[in-house]
């Protein structure tokens, strides 16, 4: 029996997976994490203090302490049944990487022992050669090593019966180039910290540290494993390259926030439990708009930890799904015709004095501080919208951005009517010849016009790629499968650069004799004027906005290969170099890697399309074609009038037409691919893959195949259909 039918049959006999979700979350939360509290228990005073200061200052661990700390971590891990350890890192492949070593070793005299040395904790040398380096290795002949990042705590990953101690690390080359997502992120966060503290000190001298915060919202699809396995395109690419939309999809909107199906609910509780043990503070779960689509979100955390937690969660979700004979689809657009999946990045900045810099304050002074950070964010997005766009560019996200349900590729900022009015007031009331009375009036007025609580749910705009939502900005254009590091590196870097510039300008005015508050207000006003055109309150999905944005001169780059150009522009090089985040060669390397990723993804999709068309679709269509042809022949031979088989003939004609178009297009697509593959320049090749392979053939082939799906006898069709994947569970 073909897999499709077996899968459908098995659905009703799926065993129920027992999930123990009865434990109180506080009872298990962080139980697999080497927290500060655990450290207190397992480390000597000296080692504990050294670890703590490394965490606080994001500094490397002191070598002399490393052995002691490693011993403590091993003792803790062994008390939980751990036998192996690994450096856990986030290479530029997009997945997380690990290579397990056991604590077990044999001493020179032959004695078997268990040990974990400081050196192994601090640094490891994975075989770097098979991770992407974008030519960096060739240029510098650099070997790579992983180094412990103490800002993110060690944890124990349970896989089946095995337990592994994971040390979060960064991955760099011996000549210092970053080879992962995490290292540049840490640099960007540090850069933001410095710039933001400087600006904060205009208002409050007690602030000595600013930590950006991130709370992501993870959207995903879940489908039955057997149905998944019967779809080679899902297995290979994470999305369906063919499939006619089902009679019912999301038009009734009956799934959004609806009750969660039992089997999915068991899965959610199971992966939530695993996540809690790992210290991932998941908070919400619900059905999303599309059938089979769901979302979860945690309580926000400091960016670096939050990024790790999202990467870990994606890993956990995939593993746990298999336990339930389910598959989670993290792809941005697994199914055509229904919503895709995003990963909204909610972002703000918190001071070590406990203030959220994007939340309006209680006093005129804190409100001016809020306004400063608020306007600087808008200015940053305005000045670097192209770099921000590049940070979320990927082959799968291209299917989503600008499609009906997702924010457009045009980066704009939504702030709501309240704050729009405030900015307008500032723009109008602050004049060049401002005097002290103006200043007091303005401060009081601003205070009055910014309510303490801005979280007004009626004033929300779901169509904006970058929206202010009361006490944070929500970057909505991030794709569901993305590692948050990239967008977070860029967002924090552009914010750091903008704040530095802001400080320079304010200090300039102060030097000229202006009062501090006046200098700040003037600069804020200037920034509002400079960045106004990036503000947009209307419907981001509308045709009218595309036109309006063009008039305003806002970039609208729809495809990844072109969007990535902004990573290596002079402006980007200057931005990243002056904030010591990327050198020019690191940027070039990353650009190259992203382009290569794009090429490979489109290439694989194109191959699987050709393969499926040739070995699945056409044989099914031809089988049915023969059946019809024989039927017509039989009817004709028995002397019936043509009206007796004219319907069959019509169907046969249509089938024949779609068969020939499909096979013809597949041939031509293979030819087009060959031309692309011979191209030397990576950028040219990526553009060619997009414009000559994807754009020319994908929709066209799909159109014909999807037509065949409707025409061919259901019993001859071996690929699970949309209605089965989306509605059966």
With binding defined as CB under 5 A, does residue 343 bind Mg ion? no
With binding defined as CB under 6 A, does residue 298 bind ligand ADP? yes
Residue with tokens 């700390």: 69
Burial level of 583, CB count in 10 A (0-12/13-18/19+)? Answer: middle
With binding defined as CB under 6 A, does residue 214 bind ligand ADP? yes
Q: What is the smallest separation between the CB atom of 283 and ligand ADP, expressed in angstroms?
A: 7
From the list ligand ADP, Mg ion, none, pick the one residue 472 interacts with, judged by a Cβ distance below 5 to 8 Å according to partner type: ligand ADP
Question: Of 316 and 593, which has the nearer Cβ to ligand ADP?
Answer: 316
Q: What is the smallest separation between the CB atom of 392 and ligand ADP, expressed in angstroms?
A: 17
Q: What is the smallest separation between the CB atom of 538 and ligand ADP, expressed in angstroms?
A: 20
3-state helix, strand, coil in the chain (%, to 5): 55, 15, 35
With binding defined as CB under 6 A, does residue 486 bind ligand ADP? no
Residue with tokens 């060959």: 674
Q: What is the smallest separation between the CB atom of 632 and ligand ADP, expressed in angstroms?
A: 58
Question: Of 145 and 216, which has the nearer Cβ to ligand ADP?
Answer: 216
Structure tokens at 266: 């068991």
Burial level of 647, CB count in 10 A (0-12/13-18/19+)? Answer: exposed
Q: Which residues lie below 8 Å from residue 693, measured CB to CB, with a gap of 6+?
A: 602, 603, 606, 669, 672, 673, 676
Structure tokens at 114: 């268990």
Report which residue's Cβ sits closest to Mg ion.
Answer: 344
Question: Of 60 and 460, which has the nearer Cβ to ligand ADP?
Answer: 460
Q: What is the smallest separation between the CB atom of 553 and ligand ADP, expressed in angstroms?
A: 30
Q: How far apart are alpha carbons 416 and 477 in whole angstroms?
A: 18
Interface pick for ligand ADP out of 229, 356, 556, 692 (rule CB under 6 A) = 356
Q: How far apart are alpha carbons 470 and 358 in whole angstroms?
A: 8
Q: What is the smallest separation between the CB atom of 257 and ligand ADP, expressed in angstroms?
A: 11
With binding defined as CB under 6 A, does residue 191 bind ligand ADP? no
SS3 479: strand
With binding defined as CB under 6 A, does residue 171 bind ligand ADP? no
DSSP per residue, 211-225: EEEEEEEEEEEEEEH
With binding defined as CB under 6 A, does residue 346 bind ligand ADP? yes
SS3 77: helix
8 A C-beta contact, residue 366 and residue 351 = no
With binding defined as CB under 6 A, does residue 624 bind ligand ADP? no
With binding defined as CB under 6 A, does residue 692 bind ligand ADP? no
Q: What is the smallest separation between the CB atom of 30 and ligand ADP, expressed in angstroms?
A: 17
With binding defined as CB under 6 A, does residue 407 bind ligand ADP? no
Q: How far apart are alpha carbons 339 and 405 in whole angstroms?
A: 6
Report which residue's Cβ sits closest to ligand ADP.
Answer: 215
From the list ligand ADP, Mg ion, none, pick the one residue 89 interacts with, judged by a Cβ distance below 5 to 8 Å according to partner type: none
Question: Of 356 and 569, which has the nearer Cβ to ligand ADP?
Answer: 356
Tell me which stretch binds ligand ADP (CB under 6 A): 269-277, 341-349, 610-618, 659-667: 341-349
DSSP per residue, 335-384: STTS---BEEEEEEEEETTS-BTTS--SSHHHHHHHHHHHHHHHHHHHHT
Q: In the stretch 697-726, what mask flags binding to ligand ADP with x, by CB under 6 A?
A: ------------------------------
Question: Of 178 and 213, which has the nearer Cβ to ligand ADP?
Answer: 213
Count other C-beta atoms under 10 Å from residue 62's C-beta. 17
Of the CA atoms within 13 Å of residue 205, those in its CB half-sphere come to: 0
Tell me which stretch binds ligand ADP (CB under 6 A): 158-166, 214-222, 544-552, 667-675: 214-222
8 A C-beta contact, residue 101 and residue 115 = no
DSSP per residue, 643-690: GGTHHHHHHHHHHHHHHHHHHHHHHHHHHHHHHHHT--SHHHHHHHII
Residue with tokens 């919202």: 217
Interface pick for ligand ADP out of 138, 299, 444, 544 (rule CB under 6 A) = 299
Please, what is the end-to-end C-alpha distance for the chain in angstroms?
Answer: 20
With binding defined as CB under 6 A, does residue 472 bind ligand ADP? yes
From the list Mg ion, ligand ADP, none, pick the one residue 297 interacts with, judged by a Cβ distance below 5 to 8 Å according to partner type: ligand ADP
Tell me which stretch binds Mg ion (CB under 5 A): 188-196, 344-352, 389-397, 460-468: 344-352
With binding defined as CB under 6 A, does residue 449 bind ligand ADP? no
Interface pick for Mg ion out of 137, 344, 500, 729 (rule CB under 5 A) = 344
Q: How far apart are alpha carbons 261 and 130 in whole angstroms?
A: 41
Interface pick for ligand ADP out of 96, 191, 213, 559 (rule CB under 6 A) = 213
Which of 639, 643, 583, 598 lies closest to 136 in space, CA to CA? 583
Question: Of 344 and 729, which has the nearer Cβ to Mg ion?
Answer: 344
Interface pick for ligand ADP out of 218, 348, 376, 486 (rule CB under 6 A) = 348
With binding defined as CB under 6 A, does residue 215 bind ligand ADP? yes
With binding defined as CB under 5 A, does residue 472 bind Mg ion? no
Q: What is the dihedral of CA 174, 180, 181, 187, to 10 degrees?
A: 0
Interface pick for ligand ADP out of 31, 38, 245, 471 (rule CB under 6 A) = 471
Cβ density class 124-146: b for 16+ within 10 Å, e for less: bebebeebbbbebbeebebebbb
What are the phi and psi torsion angles at 428 (to 5°)?
A: -80, -35
Q: What is the smallest separation between the CB atom of 338 and Mg ion, expressed in angstroms?
A: 19
With binding defined as CB under 6 A, does residue 347 bind ligand ADP? yes
Tell me which stretch binds ligand ADP (CB under 6 A): 96-104, 138-146, 345-353, 569-577: 345-353
What are the phi and psi torsion angles at 225 (to 5°)?
A: -65, -40
Task: Please report how the helices 436-449 and 416-429 are oriented relative to each other, as an axis angle in degrees rounded to 10.
Answer: 170
With binding defined as CB under 5 A, does residue 503 bind Mg ion? no
Structure tokens at 253: 């909107």
8 A C-beta contact, residue 552 and residue 575 = no
Q: What is the smallest separation between the CB atom of 343 and ligand ADP, expressed in angstroms?
A: 11
Count other C-beta atoms under 10 Å from residue 53's C-beta. 14
Question: Of 347 and 370, which has the nearer Cβ to Mg ion?
Answer: 347
Q: What is the smallest separation between the CB atom of 313 and Mg ion, expressed in angstroms?
A: 17
Question: Of 464 and 606, which has the nearer Cβ to Mg ion?
Answer: 464
Tell me which stretch binds ligand ADP (CB under 6 A): 252-260, 343-351, 382-390, 672-680: 343-351
Residue with tokens 């403590």: 72
Residues binding ligand ADP: what is the number (CB under 6 A)?
14
- Chain residues binding Mg ion by CB under 5 A are 344
- Chain residues binding ligand ADP by CB under 6 A are 213-215, 217, 297-300, 346-348, 356, 471-472
């Amino acid at each position: 029996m073909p897999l499709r039918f077996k899968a459908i049959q098995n659905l009703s006999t799926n065993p129920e997976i027992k999930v123990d979700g009865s434990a109180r979350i506080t009872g298990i939360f962080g139980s697999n994490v080497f927290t500060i509290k655990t450290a207190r228990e397992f480390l000597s005073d000296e080692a504990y203090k050294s670890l703590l200061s490394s965490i606080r200052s994001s500094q490397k661990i002191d070598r002399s302490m490393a052995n002691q700390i490693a011993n403590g971590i091993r003792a803790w891990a062994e008390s939980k049944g751990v036998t192996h350890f690994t450096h856990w890192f986030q290479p530029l492949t997009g997945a997380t990487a690990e290579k397990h070593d056991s604590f077990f070793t044999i001493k020179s005299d032959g004695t078997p022992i268990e040990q974990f040395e400081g050196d192994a904790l601090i640094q490891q040398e994975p075989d770097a050669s098979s991770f992407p380096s974008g030519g960096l290795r060739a240029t510098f002949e650099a070997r790579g090593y992983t180094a412990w990042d103490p800002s993110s705590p060690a944890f124990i990953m349970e896989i089946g019966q095995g337990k592994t101690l994971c040390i979060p690390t960064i991955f760099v080359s011996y000549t210092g180039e970053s080879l992962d997502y995490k290292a540049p992120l840490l640099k960007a966060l540090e850069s933001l910290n410095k710039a933001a503290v400087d600006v904060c000190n205009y208002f409050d001298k007690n602030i000595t540290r600013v930590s950006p915060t991130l709370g992501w919202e993870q959207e995903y699809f879940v489908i039955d494993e057997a149905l998944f396995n019967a779809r080679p395109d899902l297995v290979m690419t994470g999305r369906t390259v063919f499939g006619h939309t089902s009679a019912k999809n999301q038009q009734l909107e009956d799934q959004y926030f609806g009750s969660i199906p039992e089997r999915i609910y068991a899965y959610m509780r199971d992966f939530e439990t695993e996540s809690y043990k790992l210290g991932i503070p998941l908070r919400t779960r619900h059905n999303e708009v599309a059938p089979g689509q769901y979302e979860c979100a945690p309580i926000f955390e400091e960016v670096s930890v939050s990024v790790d937690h999202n990467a870990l969660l994606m890993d956990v979700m995939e593993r746990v799904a298999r336990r339930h004979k389910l598959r989670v689809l993290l792809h941005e657009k697994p199914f055509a015709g229904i919503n895709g999946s995003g990963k909204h990045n909610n972002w703000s900045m918190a001071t070590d004095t406990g203030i959220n810099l994007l939340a309006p304050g209680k006093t005129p002074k804190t409100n001016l501080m809020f306004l400063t950070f608020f306007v600087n964010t808008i200015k940053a997005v305005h000045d670097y919208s192209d770099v921000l766009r590049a940070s979320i560019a990927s082959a799968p996200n291209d299917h989503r951005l600008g499609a009906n349900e997702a924010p457009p590729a045009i980066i704009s900022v939504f702030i709501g009517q309240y704050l729009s009015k405030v900015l307008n007031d500032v723009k109008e009331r602050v004049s060049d010849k401002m005097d002290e009375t103006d200043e007091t009036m303005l401060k009081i007025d601003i205070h009055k016009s910014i309510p303490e609580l801005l979280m007004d749910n009626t004033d929300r705009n779901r169509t904006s790629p970058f929206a202010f939502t009361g006490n944070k900005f929500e970057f909505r254009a991030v794709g569901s499968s993305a590692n948050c590091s990239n967008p977070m590196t860029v967002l924090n870097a552009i914010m750091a650069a903008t704040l530095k510039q802001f400080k320079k300008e304010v200090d300039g005015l102060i030097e000229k004799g202006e009062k501090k508050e006046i200098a700040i207000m003037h600069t804020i006003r200037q920034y509002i004027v400079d960045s106004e055109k990036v503000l947009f309150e209307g419907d981001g999905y509308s045709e009218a906005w595309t036109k309006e944005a063009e008039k305003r001169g806002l970039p609208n780059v729809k495809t990844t290969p072109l969007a990535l150009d902004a990573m290596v522009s002079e402006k980007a090089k200057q931005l990243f170099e002056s904030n010591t985040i990327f050198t020019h060669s690191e940027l070039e390397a990353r650009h190259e890697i992203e382009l290569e990723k794009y090429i490979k993804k489109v290439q694989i999709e194109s191959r699987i399309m050709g393969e499926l068309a040739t070995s699945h679709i056409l044989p099914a269509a031809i089988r049915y074609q023969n059946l019809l042809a024989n039927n017509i022949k039989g009817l004709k031979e028995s002397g019936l009038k043509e009206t007796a088989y004219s319907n069959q003939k019509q169907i046969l004609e249509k089938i024949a037409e779609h068969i020939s178009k499909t096979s013809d297009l597949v041939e031509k697509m293979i030819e087009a691919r060959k031309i692309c593959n011979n191209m030397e320049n990576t950028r040219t090749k990526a553009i060619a893959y997009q414009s000559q392979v994807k754009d020319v053939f994908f929709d066209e082939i799909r159109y014909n195949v999807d037509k065949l799906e409707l025409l061919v006898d259901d019993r001859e069709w071996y690929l699970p259909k949309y209605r089965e994947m989306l509605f059966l569970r």
